[in-house]
Amino acid sequence: MNFTRTYSLNSTPPLGGPNTTATDVVGPVTMTAQNEGVLDIPSGSATGAAFSIPFGSVGSPQHVFVQNAGMSGTIKVGINGGTGASQVMELPPGGSVEYTAPVAVAEPPTVIAVFVGATEPGLGQVKYVIYGN
């Protein structure tokens, strides 16, 4: 499978005219594996509880997308064992983070962990998509 990621951002700054930005990243290598789904975070999961995003058959991720799709509060996402304040990304409800490497790298993500920001009162959900080899 070949991979293309395209974003288009249209905005009107407070002191200027309309602004349009488009970015494309095309992966020149063929990716042979993917895993995508929803990670369920059980009701009552305590602050700091950790859950791993499953890679499935993807041994070397080149594209990772994680979205706080159904949590009542923030989550923190750590890559390759990151747990400290400077090593995680905080995502509010609806927030997302993406990693894309258009070519294979020497040290790709090996672990992606989701940490609960505050005790989850109901079933929470985190969406993920992983492409690679």
Can you give the pLDDT at residue 9?
A: 59
- The Cα 60–Cα 108 span in angstroms is 6
Structure confidence at residue 5 (pLDDT): 62
CA distance 132 to 118: 32
- 60-89 burial, b at 16+ Cβ within 10 Å, e below that, comes to bbbbbbbbbbbbbeebbbbbeebeeeeebe
pTM across the whole model: 0.80
Tokens of 119: 């005790």
**pLDDT (tens place) for every residue of the chain, 133 residues total:** 666 666 665 666 666 666 666 555 555 456 788 899 999 999 999 999 999 999 999 998 988 999 999 899 999 999 887 766 667 889 999 999 988 887 778 888 899 999 999 889 999 999 999 988 8
Give residues with Cβ within 8 angstroms of 17, minimum separation 6: none
Delineate the domains of the chain, giving CATH numbers in brackets. Answer: 31-132 (2.60.120.10)
